[in-house]
Chains A and B, each alone.
Chain A
C-alpha cells in the first residue's frame, strides 16, 4: 500500500473513537483530517502521533498539586482513586528535591510547602499506605535524588507484596535541565548521569512498565529561554540520554519508547504550536536517522504540557485566566498528550482551591466547547503554521550543530561542555534580559503590567501553609532515626560509598537495601557527595 491517504484511512478506521458527535456547534459534520500528507500518525509525525488524534481520546487533564504531610497526600490519593482516577502525581517539597532532610538548616519554612516531605522510607510508606501499587500509575517529579526516591518506591512495593516488575509510572529524573535552568542539582553532571544510566539499565531489565526519564523543557522556558531554545535544549537533552543509554549497552528500541517529554505553553500562540509540531518531527528524524531506531514507538515523541507559570502576572491576577486559556488552546492544537493548566493566583503563592478548579475548568472548555478536538491537526497546511514549524526546526538544528561542534560530534559531550562553559545559562540569561528590556521600554506590552494598568485592587486571598506540617515532620524524622538499627544504616551507607566509587557497579540494589534500613535521604546524599563531590555552578549572568 502506498497511498498515504488510504493508509491514514485504514489506521483511522482501526481506531476506537470516543463518543461523538464530531460536528460543529451548528450541526455541520466535519472530517477527521484535512490537508495533505504526511497525515497524522505518519512519519515524521508533524501532524500528530496517531491517525485519529483527540477523536480517539482527549488529552489527560493532569493536575499536579500537593503539599502537607505524607498522610495528607495519601488521603487525597485515595479520594482520587475512589473517584476513578488511576494516576497519582507526586510533588515533593524543596528540601526533598534538594536531597536534604527536613532538619537541614535551610529546610526551615520549606518543609511540606510545595509538595510532600520525604526523609525516609517511613514517609514513603505513609504516602502510599493502603494503596495497591500494582494497580496504579505514579508520576514523581524529582531529579537530583531521583534514585533514592525510586528505591523507596520499589521498597514500598516489596514490603506490600508487589513485585517491582508490576510497578508502573514515571520519574522525572532529567538532571541536565537542572544544570541548565532549574538548578536543583546535587552532584556534578557526570556522576549524576551515571545514576541515571544505572536507573535506565535497572528499569530496562526489571521494570517494564516504568518510565525512567521525563525530559523537561518547561523549566528551561520558565528560566527565560526562547521557544526555539526550549525546543532545542530539551530535544538535545533527550539525545544525550539516548547516547548515554546506548553507551551503556542498551538497545534503542528497548528504551526509547519509554522516554517522554514535558513542554511549556506560552502566550505567543502560533510560535507555541509550531514548536510542538517541530518537536515531533525532529525527534522522529533523529531517532530514525542518527540513532538507528526501527520501531515506530521509538520515533513517536509523547509530551505533557503545562501553561507558562512565568507569564502569570501579580497585577490584576484574574486576567491570568485569559492567558491560561489561550496557552491551553495552543497545547491542544499542538497535539499534547496531557495538560496542566496553571491557576491564576500562582504568581503570588500556591494555588487556592478555587483557582485550581477554574484552571481545570478552563481546559475542559477547550476540550468540550471549542470543537478543536473534532479534527486532527486542524491548523496543518496553514502557510503561517507550516512556516513557523519549519522555522522552529531550523533554529533548533542550528543549536544541535553547535552542541555537536563543542562535543566532538557527541550531543552528550556537547551537553557537558555547554554546562561547563556556561553556554546554556548564558543563552537563557540573554533571552530573559532581552525580553525584560522590551517590557521595560514598553516595546512589548504585558497587559496589566506596562499598559492597561487601571483596575488592580491588589487584594487577593492567598493560601498559607501552617507550621504544624514542619513540626510533625521533624518529630517523625527524629522518631524514625531513634527506632532504626543504626549499625545496619552505617553498614549500608559504607557499602554504598564503595560501590559509588566503582562506575561498573549498578547502585540501584544497594540503594534499595539502604532505604530499607531507613537511611535518610540526606544521609544517602551526603554519602554519595563524599564520592562524587557537590556541584557548584559557575556564575553566568
Chain B
C-alpha cells in the first residue's frame, strides 16, 4: 500500500469524487475498489466516469467464464482453481453471480465461503446478485470486469449458474468459457438445450469419480462431432477439450487450469483473443444502445399518438403486425 493510500484510510468515501475513489483504488485500497463496483452495479451517475477511466487501462486480463447447472460443483471447482492460482497468479479476481429472489429482490450470496480461505490474500472476490431487471446484469458485468482489469487483476473469473439466458450469455462473453457438467444429471443434454454447447471453449466433467462420468464424456464428444460444422471450429479454430475432474478431492483442478491456459495461448496466437474482446465491446455498445431504444419504445407505446392503433389491436380491428408497421412508419419511416 502506498503512503498516499494510507493517509486516505478512514476517509469517508461518500465525501470523495468518483475520480478520487478510482485513484484510491489504484493505490490498492480495496474498499475503494469495492465502492467503484457498487457504482457500476447500480449504473449510477458515477458509473460513466469510472468506465471511462477504467477502459483506458483495461485490456490485459484473461477473462474466464465458468458456468454449469446448479449442483454441478462449479463453485467448489472455482474455489480449487483459486487455490491453485494462489502461487502463480496471486492477483486473480472472482465475480460470483447468483440469482436474486424474483419475489423480494433480495439474495443470499454464499460463494465466498469456499474461496476466501484458499485464495491468496491478494485475490479479489465479489458476489453479485442478478437483481431481476432485464439486461441489467449483462450491462453491469462487463463494466465490473473492466474495472477489475484496470486495477491489474488477472485472470478474472466470472462464475454464473447455467440457467437463464442472461447468465449463460455472461459466461459466454469471456475469453475462455468453461462449461461444467456432472454425471447422472443428463447434463450433456441440458447443456445442449441451453446453448451452452456452442459457447463452451472447454468442458469439465466434474465428479469424475462417480459412476457415469465416462458416459457424460462420450455424450459430449458425440454432440461435438455433430455440431462440428456449426460450432467452435469456426469460431475459434479448435475443438473444445473435455477435462475430467473430481472437485471434492481437488484432483483435476490442475488439469483444468492447464487446459484453460492452452486455450488462452491458442487464441492469443491466432489473434482470436483480440477479436473476442473487440466483439465484446461491440456487444456492450449494442446492449446499451438497445437498452436506450427499448426505453424509448416503451415510452412511445405509452404515448397518445399510438393509442389509436393499440386500441384497434385490442378490438381485433387491426393485426399486431399492421399496428407495428403503422407506428414505425410514422415514427421512424
Contact = CB atoms under 8 A, between A and B. Distances in A.
Contacts of B250: 533
A104 interface: no
Interface residues of A, number: 11
Given A408-B211, A421-B71, A538 B248 contact: no
Contact of A537 (B75, B111, B113, B211): B113
A501 B111 CA distance: 30
Contacts of A83: none
Given A537-B113, A541-B110, 8 more contacts: A408-B211, A420-B248, A421-B71, A533-B250, A536-B113, A538-B114, A540-B110, A541-B108
A536 B250 CA distance: 13
A536 B117 contact: yes
B75 A538 contact: yes
8 contacts: A420-B248, A536-B113, A536-B114, A538-B110, A538-B114, A539-B110, A541-B108, A541-B110
Interface of B: 71, 75-76, 108, 110-111, 113-114, 117, 211, 248, 250
A188 interface: yes
B53 to A, nearest CB: 34
A413 to B, nearest CB: 10
Given A188-B248, A408-B211, A420-B248, A538 B71 contact: no
B187 to A, nearest CB: 14
A105 to B, nearest CB: 14
Contacts of A408: 211
A184 B114 CA distance: 17
Interface in A401-432: 408, 420-421
**Which of A408, A536, A537, A540 counts the most B-chain CB atoms under 10 A from its CB?**
A536
B211 A538 contact: no
Contacts of B75: 538
A538 B108 contact: no
A188 B114 CA distance: 14
B272 to A, nearest CB: 35
A421 B250 CA distance: 16
Contacts of B108: 541
> Which 8 A-B pairs have CB atoms at the shortest separation, nearest pair first?
A539-B110, A539-B113, A541-B108, A421-B71, A536-B114, A541-B110, A538-B114, A536-B117
Contacts of A421: 71
A187 to B, nearest CB: 13
Contacts of A538: 75-76, 110, 113-114
A46 to B, nearest CB: 37
A343 to B, nearest CB: 35
Interface string A522-541: 00000000000100111111
Nearest to A533: B250
A541 B110 CA distance: 8
Contacts of B111: 539
A476 B87 CA distance: 39
B245 to A, nearest CB: 14
A421 B247 CA distance: 12
Contacts of B110: 538-541
B277 to A, nearest CB: 34
A538 B211 CA distance: 23
Contacts of A540: 110
A541 B108 CA distance: 8
A28 B250 CA distance: 69
Nearest to A416: B248
A537 B110 CA distance: 11
Contacts of A541: 108, 110
Nearest to B211: A408
Interface in A484-541: 533, 536-541
B171 to A, nearest CB: 20
A536 B108 CA distance: 18
B90 to A, nearest CB: 20
B332 to A, nearest CB: 49
Nearest to A408: B211
A156 B3 CA distance: 58
Contacts of A420: 248
A24 to B, nearest CB: 56
Contacts of B71: 421
Nearest to B248: A420
A148 B75 CA distance: 33
B99 to A, nearest CB: 13
Nearest to B70: A421
A538 B248 CA distance: 11
A196 B28 CA distance: 48
Nearest to B112: A539
A541 B98 CA distance: 13
A201 B111 CA distance: 39
A421 B248 CA distance: 11
A539 B79 CA distance: 13
A36 to B, nearest CB: 46
Contacts of A537: 113
A539 B111 CA distance: 7
Contacts of A536: 113-114, 117
B3 to A, nearest CB: 30
A539 B96 CA distance: 14
A334 B75 CA distance: 44
Nearest to B111: A539
Nearest to B108: A541
A207 B111 CA distance: 45
A195 to B, nearest CB: 17
A541 to B, nearest CB: 5
Contacts of A188: 248
A419 to B, nearest CB: 10
A408 B250 CA distance: 23
Contacts of B114: 536, 538-539
Nearest to A413: B210
Nearest to B113: A539
A188 B75 CA distance: 17
Interface string A203-246: 00000000000000000000000000000000000000000000
A253 B324 CA distance: 80
A540 B108 CA distance: 10
A188 B250 CA distance: 12
A533 B118 CA distance: 12
A539 B108 CA distance: 10
Nearest to A539: B110
A533 B117 CA distance: 13
B285 to A, nearest CB: 37
A378 B254 CA distance: 63
Contacts of B113: 536-539
Nearest to A422: B71
Contacts of A533: 250
B116 to A, nearest CB: 9
Interface in A364-423: 408, 420-421
B253 to A, nearest CB: 13
B254 to A, nearest CB: 16
A538 to B, nearest CB: 6
A541 B107 CA distance: 11
A533 B250 CA distance: 10
**Which of A533, A539, A541 counts the most B-chain CB atoms under 10 A from its CB?**
A539
Nearest to B116: A536
A167 to B, nearest CB: 36
Interface string A180-203: 000000001000000000000000
Contacts of B76: 538
B78 to A, nearest CB: 12
A492 B211 CA distance: 39
